[in-house]
C-alpha cells in the first residue's frame, strides 16, 4: 500500500445498510492514515473483522517506524543502518525508552544504573533448580521473568513514573543475567555473577561462557557482533510479542509479567523462534545441492513446510535488518576464521528463492532471522539459546512500549470483539435425555 494514496485525508464515510457514519482519520508523521472506527458500533450496530490485525492500528506510538514497501526501519526517527554503524545496544535502549539520543552524561548515568541493577536475588537460584536440566531456555526465561513479579510487586506503585522507569531499567539490566543463568543451569555450570567493570554485551557473554576454573579470553569481534545483533532486534513496533506486552499492560498488570508474556509470544516459530527454526532447516537441507527440493517443498501447501527466515507481515521488500545481518555474517565468520558450510546453503537458498516466481509474486524476502543463526552458531551460542538472544534485545523495545502505554491518555484495556459462529440460544438437556 502506498502512503500517498490518501494524503491529507481527514475524514472517511462508511455506509452500512441504512446508516452512514463520518469517521475521523488519524494522520501519522510517516505512513498510511488510519481511519478511527471507534464510533462505528454505536452508529451502525456493526463491528469490524480483521483476523491477525492485518489492517488495524492498535495504538499511537512514537517509538519505531517501518515502511514495509521500501524496506525502511527507524528507531525514534533514526535509520537502523546509522544506529547499527555508530551506536551501541545500550545507547539504543536509552533512545528507545527516553525518545532522544542521550548526552554523554545522560548515557553515563543510564549505563551506571543498568550496570548496578544486573544482580539477581539469590532466591532465583532455587527457582532455577526446579527446572529439569533439559528444559528449553525460553521456557525457563518465561518462568523466571514471571517470578520477578513476586520480588517487585507489593510496593510497586504504577502511578509513579519513577517506579515505572525503574522497572524498565531493572528489566533491561536483569534479563541478560537471567538468560545466562538459564543456559548455565541447562548445562550444569555454576552461575556466574555479573561483572560491573564490563560493558553490557561483554558482561553478558562473560556470564554465558566463563568457567570458574579459568579466566575467559573473549574475542572482541564476538562482543561487537552480539551488540550489533542486539541493536537490530531491539524494537519492531507492534509485532506479536510487543502487542502482547501492551495487551497485558493495558490491564494494569505488573510490568515483569507483561515482559514475561512478551517472551512467551516471541518463542513461536512464526516470530522470534524462527532463528532456531532456520538453523534446524539449514542443517536438514545440509548441502547446496538439496536447496531446490527445499524450495519446491516450501511452495507445496500440502507439505506444511515454509522457508523459515523468509517472509514478513510488514516487509514486502528486503528486510533492512536482514541486509545488515547478511553483510555482517560474512565479516564475522571471516574475522573469527570460521568456515561454516551452512552459509553456502543459506546463500544458495536465498539466491534460488529470490529468483523463484512463487517467492517473487508474494514478495517473500529473507527476514532478520535468516542469517542471524549462522552468526550465533559461529559465536558458540547453542541453538536453543537463539531466541533468548532475541528476547534480551527486544526487552528494550518491550519496556519502551510499556512505558509509552502507561503514559498514554488513550490507553484502555485491550478487548477485541468476535464473529460468533457457535450455536444460537438453546435449552439445556439433562444427561439422561442426550
306 in contact with ligand CMC (CB under 6 A) = yes
Give 176 or 397: the residue with its C-beta nearer to ligand CMC. 397
Q: Is residue 280 involved in binding ligand CMC (CB under 6 A)?
A: no
The answer to whether residue 233 forms part of the interface with ligand CMC (CB under 6 A) is no
Q: Which of 145, 308, 379, 400 binds ligand CMC (CB under 6 A)?
A: 308
* Residue 312 is among the residues annotated as catalytic for this protein: yes
Q: Are 428 and 271 in contact (CB under 8 A)?
A: no
Neighbours of 190 (CB within 10 A): 9
326 scored as a contact of ligand CMC (CB under 6 A): no
Nearer to ligand CMC, 269 or 382 (CB): 269
Alpha helix ranges (H) inside 188-254: 200-209, 220-233, 240-249
Out of 281, 298, 332, 343, the residue judged to bind ligand CMC by CB under 6 A: 298
Residue 272 touches ligand CMC, criterion: CB under 6 A: yes
27 in Cβ contact with 8 (< 8 Å): yes
At a CB cut-off of 8 Å and minimum separation 6, what does 422 contact? Answer: none
Q: What are the φ/ψ torsions at residue 73 (nearest 5 degrees)?
A: -135, 125
Q: Which of 136, 312, 319, 401 is catalytic?
A: 312
Largest CA distance in the chain: 78
Alpha helix (H) residue ranges in 152-273: 161-187, 200-209, 220-233, 240-249, 255-266
Stretch of 11-19, 181-189, 212-220, 268-276 contacting ligand CMC, by CB under 6 A: 268-276
Please state at what angle helix 369-378 crosses helix 386-406, rounded to 10 degrees. Answer: 120
Among 67, 210, 350, 369, binds ligand CMC (CB under 6 A): 369
Start-end of H helices in 234-336: 240-249, 255-266, 274-285, 291-299, 320-336
Using CB atoms, what's the residue nearest to ligand CMC?
A: 311
Rounded to an integer, what distance in angstroms lies between the CA atom of residue 411 and that of residue 158?
Answer: 14
Only one residue has cell 513446510, namely 305
With binding defined as CB under 6 A, does residue 255 bind ligand CMC? no
Q: Is 239 in the site for ligand CMC (CB under 6 A)?
A: yes
Catalytic residue (one of 227, 235, 319, 369): 369
Q: Which of 246, 271, 377, 401 binds ligand CMC (CB under 6 A)?
A: 271
From candidates 368, 375, 388, 389, binder to ligand CMC by CB under 6 A: 368
* Distance separating alpha carbons of residues 223 and 217, to the nearest angstrom: 12
274 binds ligand CMC, rule: CB under 6 A: yes
Catalytic residue positions, numbered:
312, 369
Binding residues for ligand CMC (CB under 6 A)? 52, 236, 239, 270-272, 274, 298, 306-313, 362, 364, 367-369
Amino acid at each position: 500500500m502506498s502512503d500517498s494514496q490518501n494524503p491529507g485525508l481527514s475524514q472517511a464515510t462508511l455506509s452500512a445498510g441504512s446508516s452512514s457514519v463520518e469517521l475521523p482519520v488519524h494522520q501519522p508523521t510517516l505512513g498510511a492514515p488510519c481511519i478511527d472506527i471507534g464510533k462505528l458500533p454505536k452508529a451502525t450496530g456493526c463491528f469490524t473483522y480483521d483476523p491477525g490485525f492485518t489492517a488495524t492500528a492498535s495504538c499511537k506510538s512514537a517509538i519505531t517506524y517501518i515502511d514495509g514497501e521500501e524496506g525502511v526501519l527507524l528507531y525514534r526517527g533514526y535509520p537502523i543502518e546509522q544506529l547499527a554503524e555508530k551506536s551501541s545496544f545500550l545507547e539504543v535502549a536509552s533512545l528507545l525508552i527516553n525518545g532522544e539520543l542521550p548526552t554523554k552524561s545522560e548515557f553515563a548515568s543510564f549505563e551506571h544504573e543498568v550496570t548496578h541493577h544486573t544482580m539477581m536475588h539469590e532466591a532465583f537460584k532455587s527457582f532455577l533448580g526446579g527446572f529439569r536440566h533439559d528444559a528449553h531456555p525460553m521456557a525457563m526465561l518465561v518462568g523466571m521473568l514471571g517470578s520477578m513479579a513476586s520480588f517487585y510487586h507489593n510496593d510497586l506503585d504504577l502511578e509513579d513514573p519513577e517506579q515505572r522507569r525503574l522497572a524498565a531499567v531493572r528489566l533491561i539490566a536483569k534479563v541478560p543475567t537471567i538468560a545466562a543463568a538459564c543456559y548455565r543451569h541447562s548445562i550444569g555450570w555454576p552461575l556466574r555473577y555479573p561483572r560491573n567493570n564490563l560493558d553490557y554485551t561483554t558482561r553478558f557473554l562473560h556470564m554465558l561462557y566463563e568457567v570458574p576454573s579459568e579466566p575467559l579470553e573473549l574475542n572482541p569481534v564476538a562482543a561487537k557482533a552480539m551488540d550489533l545483533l542486539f541493536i537490530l532486534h531491539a524494537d519492531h513496533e507492534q509485532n506479536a510479542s510487543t502487542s502482547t506486552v501492551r495487551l497485558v499492560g493495558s490491564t494494569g498488570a505488573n510490568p515483569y509479567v507483561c515482559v514475561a508474556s512478551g517472551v512467551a509470544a516471541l518463542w513461536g516459530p512464526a516470530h522470534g523462534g524462527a532463528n532456531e527454526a532456520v538453523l534446524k532447516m539449514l542443517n536438514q537441507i545440509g548441502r547446496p545441492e538439496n536447496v531446490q527440493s527445499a524450495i519446491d517443498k516450501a511452495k507445496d501447501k500440502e507439505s506444511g513446510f515454509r522457508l523459515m527466515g523468509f517472509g514478513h507481515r510488514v516487509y514486502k521488500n528486503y528486510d533492512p535488518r536482514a541486509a545488515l545481518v547478511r553483510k555482517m555474517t560474512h565479516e564475522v565468520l571471516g574475522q573469527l576464521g570460521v568456515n561454516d558450510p551452512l552459509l553456502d546453503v543459506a546463500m544458495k537458498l536465498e539466491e534460488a528463492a529470490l529468483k523463484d516466481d512463487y517467492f517473487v509474486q508474494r514478495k517473500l524476502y529473507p527476514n532478520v532471522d535468516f542469517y542471524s543463526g549462522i552468526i550465533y552458531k559461529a559465536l558458540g551460542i547453542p541453538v536453543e539459546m537463539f531466541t533468548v538472544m532475541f528476547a534480551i534485545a527486544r526487552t528494550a523495545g518491550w519496556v519502551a512500549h510499556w512505558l509509552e502505554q502507561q503514559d498514554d491518555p488513550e490507553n484502555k484495556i485491550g478487548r477485541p470483539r468476535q464473529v460468533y459462529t457457535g450455536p444460537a440460544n438453546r435449552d439445556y438437556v439433562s444427561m439422561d435425555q442426550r
